A and B are shown apart, each in its own frame.
Chain A
């Protein structure tokens, strides 16, 4: 019997302790659930320090089978992070790492704490380096567009201006209509029409062609009016003097009238080209990946405002350089006026 009793006793002790352990674990787990829900209530009320206090009550149990400890410490870490107390945040995460050195959540958290503790400018520079390659690619496209339009639109504008002052009614009427149409409607609409609208009439353009076409026509119309004003501002006597030495109308235009408009036209045309740099952003709507579109893509992918700031800086750089160049050209164009 002794043997039997001994065995029974041993077994029952084992069983009893098992039951006890089970009960205790249930009991403690229930207890922690209560704590977590209290903490949630405190958070809901916006009292983060109170929530942290409650969560701290969760203690480490051997093995932490319920996961309550890790859960509570990570929660504390996030709350401290939100409260910008980075030391307390990393301390909480380190508690987890002390027992589970390779807990991936805690490791990731430590990384982002380190990121957060870095000086702001370092973070900014890192973001810049991350976004810059893509943005520069976009900027190259923007500059390509700008340069193309700067080459095309003065020629188009000159043709329209000369057409507009022509005494041949059909030509001047046509040029008037062209200016009326392209200055009277939004550039965005013109781009949409060319890229999305014309295909329905069987005319399809690549995005780049459509962008050049839309910007080129629009800017030719604007420059046409500016150039016409410039030509008509040249004193009438100049044309008469040119004719009096036997020049034809076109010789007089080419040699006498148009060269005199350069200085007068440089400021308004410079303004147009500054506006052009910014207007190229509109072609991002017709599937062109230029600076604005690149910035938008970066911003959407990382939800990081640095991409937008960077794009703004690049635009500013461009407009500043152009302003400078146009001032220089203006001075050179008017060199004969210096006494």
Chain B
């Protein structure tokens, strides 16, 4: 699936501190178009912080983010201080990168259709008819067309997460970030969400997925990355990773714990 030579996303030396704690420590990562990267690692290793940095929900202190070869998101002021770009530019960047959260974060006061329409309608300023059409398409894609008029409170966890995916897709992003999309779900509901993500992969969507589901990582990932204490400790294709990296003591004990 790795087709293009220019990476879609390129991270260089990403570093994020929370006070004295270094949550992400000099991470480099190239993601090619259509590539599916799965990041695993123990709790607190900085996986979420890394994804959130890519979507500018966290402001990083060091490092650069390149998207389609362009450096994005940060500007340096006259005094040499680096800070986030103007809000409207950040918003524009975010709408090119979809993000799906562990706890879905659907808008409870909007119907399922309203949730999915919201991006095209409010952010892209599409007409209600057009936004509705896009939203219905996306709902069909995640298999929830029949739920369009209900409120999120009536949905199961798996359905909620699929609506959240549809909501992100409605913005037609070039990259999708998933932060433990199935961690809040009952085991029997995990499958339907991964089916949806698998379909996206088949369509060629570029994705970075943080998950603890090793079965999924083995099956879907083009590359598996093990992250610990804010750094990438090991990475490789699933075959390589699970065969060879098992020699790595820490990965071994981590995998043993979650499998």
Contact = CB atoms under 8 A, between A and B. Distances in A.
Interface of A: 235, 237-238, 240-249, 251, 255-256, 259-260, 336-339
A268 B154 CA distance: 27
A38 to B, nearest CB: 86
B155 to A, nearest CB: 10
Interface in B80-133: 87-88, 91-92, 94-95, 98-99, 101, 103, 105-110, 118-119, 122-124
B60 interface: no
A242 to B, nearest CB: 8
A121 B32 CA distance: 90
Contacts of B109: 259-260, 336
A240 B153 CA distance: 19
Contact of A245 (B94, B110, B152): B94
A247 B122 contact: yes
Nearest to B164: A241
Contact of A246 (B92, B105, B153): B92
Given A336-B153, A337-B108, A255 B122 contact: yes
Contacts of B124: 246
B199 to A, nearest CB: 20
Contacts of B108: 260, 336-337
Given A249-B87, A259-B109, A336-B108, A244 B98 contact: yes
Nearest to B57: A240
B108 to A, nearest CB: 6
Given A241-B101, A246-B124, 19 more contacts: A237-B101, A238-B107, A241-B105, A241-B106, A243-B91, A244-B98, A244-B101, A245-B170, A246-B94, A251-B122, A251-B123, A255-B118, A255-B122, A256-B107, A260-B108, A260-B109, A336-B110, A337-B151, A338-B151
Contact of B123 (A237, A240, A247): A247
Interface in B176-192: none
21 contacts: A240-B101, A242-B107, A243-B91, A243-B94, A244-B98, A244-B99, A244-B101, A245-B95, A245-B98, A245-B167, A246-B91, A246-B119, A248-B88, A251-B122, A259-B109, A336-B110, A336-B152, A336-B153, A337-B108, A337-B151, A339-B153
B168 interface: yes
A251 B120 CA distance: 13
Given A241-B106, A243-B57, A248 B87 contact: yes
Contacts of B154: 339
Name, among B92, B95, B118, B168, the residue most crowded by chain A CB atoms within 10 Å (CB to CB).
B118
A165 B170 CA distance: 31
A338 B55 CA distance: 33
A245 B123 contact: yes
B123 A246 contact: yes
Interface residues of B, number: 32
Contacts of B91: 243, 246-248
Given A256-B107, A337-B108, A245 B171 contact: yes
A89 B137 CA distance: 93
A338 to B, nearest CB: 7
Contact of B119 (A235, A238, A245, A259): A245
Contact of B57 (A244, A246, A337, A339): A244
B153 A245 contact: no
A250 to B, nearest CB: 9
Nearest to B171: A245
Contacts of A246: 91-92, 94-95, 119, 123-124, 171
A239 to B, nearest CB: 9
Given A244-B57, A246-B95, A248-B91, A336 B105 contact: no
B153 A338 contact: yes
Contacts of A242: 107
Interface string B52-93: 000101000000000000000000000000000001100110
In the A-B complex, list the 3 residue pairs whose CB atoms are closest, starting with the nearest. Answer: A246-B95, A241-B105, A237-B105
B101 A336 contact: no
A251 B109 CA distance: 15
Contacts of A336: 108-110, 151-153
A320 to B, nearest CB: 29
B144 to A, nearest CB: 17
Contacts of A244: 55, 57, 94, 98-99, 101, 168
Nearest to A252: B122
Contact of A237 (B92, B103, B152): B103
A146 B33 CA distance: 61
Nearest to A235: B105
A337 B154 CA distance: 9
